[in-house]
Structure 1
Amino acid sequence: MIAGDRSSAGKTTVTLALLAFLASQKHRVQSFKVGPDYIDPMFHTAITGRSCRNLDPILTSETYIQLCFSKHCQGVEYALVEGVMGLFDGIPLNKADDTRFKETIVKTPSKEKSSLDYGSTAHVARLLNIPVVLVIDCSHLSGSVAAIIHGYSSFNPHLNLVGVILNRVGSDRHLYLLQQSLDILNVSIVGILRRQDSLTIPDRHLGLIPTNELSHLKSLFQQLAHLAQTAFNWQYLLPLLSSSHLDSLTPPLLQPIIPSSSIKIAVASDHAFNFYYQDNLDILRTLGAQLISWSPLEDENLPKGIHGLYFGGGFPEMFAQELSQNHRGRKAVKAAIINGIPTYAECGGLMYLCQKIVDFQSQEWPMVGILPTTAIMGRNLALGYRQATALHDSPLLTTGQTILGHEFHRSQLTSISKNPLFSVRSWYYNSSFLKEGWRIYQLHASYIHLHFGERSDLPRKFLRHCLDFFRSNKLY
């Protein structure tokens, strides 16, 4: 586990450098990312050639992430997990959470009833029983680094913190002061990264720019691999990364809705729409769906013979002009939804189905227009886990069902539905309930991202609606 003392300590750079070096040596390596992140896993996947998996006990469960980790570590030489935020940054959870909601997709932890770091990097490391290497941003530290590392290593005796990586070291003298400070501690320095002004990964309002928008990926990964070769103590790290000692657990089998992949789902996949949990796509396939990629940016028609639509999140605001200019594509989507095709849209997908998107330059761009509202980009960030109770039936939910999801966006809608899909509030503290989401025709549209890992009933219901559409002989 690569952890950080705080956000922006350098976890992602360190993780990508480690993966890039291992991949350059032709090793089979499986990566994971703690939390509900979409973009960092894209970089992992681009380097290793294997789909990165999200480990989020809040959106799934403790048992699920143990099974997921075990399953995807089989047949590889090395496994690496990138943490989230600071090592112990999670959410408070106690016994009251057992009964706070009528239904929840999160299982209350068995041994940590009063934990303040549920869902954190430390929590996941303990669940998986894997060693932790802590990345420290040393740019404004010298002697104080020892106090910080002592605190992190002693805070929880159940955590196996085995080493530190000193990041953003400014000079030889700076390094000398850091090393002298750490001499009093029984902790190994397993990596030293100097300030890397020439090594940058561009970002924007929701994090890193996705891999499919970057033209210099190959040279970036080569830089990272070279950095890792010279910056890390590989003799110490390789045994920690080895997957040979990990337990093998058998996940439960999912029975398909139908025996063959006759249900065809068009999945929006391009620069504008690329926020998908790989587990969600895998579960849909396991349940009997055939997933067909198509591009709302470029394709003027929907794929032939489909029975459902799936719009993930992404950056439609960055490609609003191109989306708007694809008139035939927008009309095809609108006609299909009006004709009753089951459709699941979350966040960026929701925005695409609105009347318009108003971008950061206040320019208006017409969209599909199935939802009578406009998505306006702004500075305020909506972020966090959400408890959502269905107010109406949808292709995924039944009235009264409660789910947990995650929100992460900088847009707001100009109006809410007269018959909103959800009653929503923050999951882990008592906030007020808000109305959110749209349910019209056979459309489920919301800002809330869902993970199907512990809720196969949601994609099952969606595919049953798609199967009904298939049997009605309404094809596209």
Structure 2
Amino acid sequence: MALVIAGERSGVGKTTVTLTLLASLRRRDRLVQSFKVGPDYIDPMFHQHVTGRPCRNLDPVLTSEAYVQQCFARHSQLSEYALVEGVMGLFDGVKGSRDEGVGGAGEEELLINGQCLTDFASTAHIARLLDLPVVLVIDCSRLSGSVAAIAHGYRSFDPRIKIAGVVLNRVGSDRHLSLLKDSLEPLQLPILGVLRRQDNITIPDRHLGLVPTAELPELNALINRLADLGDTCFDWQNLLPLLKSEPFPSTEAINRVSPYSSSPVRIAVARDRAFNFYYQDNLDLLQQLGAELVFWSPLEDAALPKDVQGMYFGGGFPEVFAQQLVENSSVRNAVKTAIFQGMPTVAECGGLMYLCEQIIDFEGKSWSMAGVLPTSAVMGGRLTLGYRRAVALQDNLLVKAGTTVYGHEFHRSDLTLTPIQPLFKTYRYDCDENMGCEGWGLPANIHASYVHLHWGERGEIPQQFLKECRKLASI
């Protein structure tokens, strides 16, 4: 058993409720494993800061339904309690199924008034896949009696979903709480938590969501306040049995990989305030395949790590730290030199921006970057967001021509020039809408793309990367 924290929509306080539960459990010295539905990088950072354990993403678009089950089974069994934070509203997903192809309905069909709806990759989908109960977080700041209609609607919408209870968030007063309880009483739906409106618990955000943990010097104080809140606002007597981790039905392991027989290859992984968007499963796979990960900072370090045969730049916020990146000219030059001398390099989103000639920030100011790619990244107001089906147009550092991969885009920058020989032709995941060509594969030892990839069940991707790195090591 474990518990899914879901919201009736985005912005109701799922992350606050999740962190409050995690902080209170950790204060009690409980070993807890957390999971996050969807492709998000930042919420898992907060989970890990509280629990001390990497949060795992559960995303059947980026991986598969089988991988989601296997990932949950493998990691939940190593802890006393397990908690899954949902994404958006409970039933907010995408149309289509990986198994049925783009636009296919697959098994995630729900008939409402005779019409077929789909919620693939939604919180509800994950709850069904893992057979887990759901706690529904409701923002009560602008309602009283209507809370019953919301709770009843969510409980009855899909009978396969087990709503274990609700958490009432942003309750204004004792009188307000009394009205909410009176309205919910006929439903006999347990109230598992009540969070009053909090003025001293705020996590700052910016253009791509919450500000990451590494940039919040007061984060530990905030987590302590959340733990204080969690000690008193939840019905722990009924919550703890729901959170208790129990053996999940065994599933066949996806993507069994074996370490390469030769000596380990060293990969320089950029990880600091500017570059910190990594799926833990990707890093784990590299290590399982025999890579030694050397974490370093393009912001702070004076040079590249020594004796490395590959580089990995994840996403992040290079635009926020552009001045500091510019000032570290020795590292920018070292990165450029290493790439032009043939070092295999993976750069996703923010990493791609770092390899450009310039980043032009929201105020229009230009900042020189590594200068590997003959283009500039320009920050703008338009958000590019969504799952992508990407078809490789050429053999490249990670995949062969014609290979289809599934990824996710989430950025507010665009490039001034597009590549002459792009890596991918991309489509929206839930339809055949052509999203254009993107990704840089020249020089041939780089893979620079806005599309974030989860390698969970695609072990051939890190295998191919490390194969190229070992070629450099043998020279």
Give TM-score scaled by structure 2 length.
0.95
Q: Deviations over 1:402-426 (max 9, x none)?
A: 1110000011111101111111121
Counterpart-to-counterpart distance in 1, 2:410 and 2:425: 17
Provide the secondary structure at the position in 2 that maps to 1:418: coil
Aligned twin of 2:449:
446
Aligned twin of 2:19:
16
Q: Which moved further from structure 2: 177-186 or 342-351?
A: 177-186
Q: Indicate how the Cα distance of structure 1 residues 21 and 112 shifts in structure 2: closer, same or farther if over 3 A, else same.
A: same
Counterpart-to-counterpart distance in 1, 2:232 and 2:180: 19
Please say if residues 102 and 432 of structure 2, whose CA atoms lie closer than 8 Å, have aligned partners that are also in contact: no
Provide the secondary structure at the position in 2 that maps to 1:85: strand
Aligned-pair distance for 1:458? 0.8
Counterpart-to-counterpart distance in 1, 2:48 and 2:106: 30
Counterpart-to-counterpart distance in 2, 1:391 and 1:430: 17
Aligned twin of 1:71:
74
Aligned twin of 2:286:
284
Aligned-pair distance for 1:255? 3.1
Aligned-pair distance for 1:432? 2.4
Q: Deviations over 1:248-288 (max 9, x none)?
A: 54625633351355211100011100000000000111011
Aligned twin of 1:408:
410
Do residues 430 (structure 1) and 432 (structure 2) align? yes
Aligned twin of 2:113:
none
Which of 351, 367, 375 lines up with 1:373 in the alignment?
A: 375
Aligned twin of 2:42:
39
Aligned-pair distance for 1:364? 0.7
Q: How does 1:296-375 map to 2 (within 5 A)?
A: 296-375=298-377
Amino acid at match of 1:17: T
Counterpart-to-counterpart distance in 2, 1:226 and 1:94: 42
Provide the secondary structure at the position in 2 that maps to 1:7: coil
Q: Deviations over 1:123-182 (max 9, x none)?
A: 000101111000000111111110111000001111111100000111111111111111
Aligned twin of 1:2:
5
Aligned twin of 1:192:
194
Please say if residues 257 and 460 of structure 1, whose CA atoms lie closer than 8 Å, have aligned partners that are also in contact: no
Q: Deviations over 1:344-390 (max 9, x none)?
A: 10000000000000112211100000001110111110000011111
Which of 439, 444, 467 lines up with 1:464 in the alignment?
A: 467
Give the count of matched residue pairs.
466
Q: Indicate how the Cα distance of structure 1 residues 359 and 261 shifts in structure 2: closer, same or farther if over 3 A, else same.
A: farther
Alignment gaps of 5+ in structure 2: 111-115
Do residues 53 (structure 1) and 51 (structure 2) align? no
Alignment gaps of 5+ in structure 1: 102-106
Amino acid at match of 1:65: V
Instruction: Provide the aligned C-alpha RMSD in A.
Output: 1.7
Aligned-pair distance for 1:394? 1.0
Amino acid at match of 1:148: I
Aligned-pair distance for 1:303? 1.1
Which of 218, 237, 244 lines up with 2:239 in the alignment?
A: 237
Aligned-pair distance for 1:433? 4.0
Aligned-pair distance for 1:301? 1.6
Aligned twin of 1:150:
152
Q: How does 1:160-239 map to 2 (within 5 A)?
A: 160-239=162-241
Counterpart-to-counterpart distance in 2, 1:283 and 1:460: 9
Aligned-pair distance for 1:112? 4.2
Counterpart-to-counterpart distance in 1, 2:385 and 2:117: 22
Aligned-pair distance for 1:246? 3.7
Provide the secondary structure at the position in 2 that maps to 1:329: helix
Give TM-score scaled by structure 1 length.
0.95
Aligned twin of 1:88:
91
Amino acid at match of 1:200: T
Aligned-pair distance for 1:391? 1.2
Aligned-pair distance for 1:244? 2.8
Provide the secondary structure at the position in 2 that maps to 1:439: coil
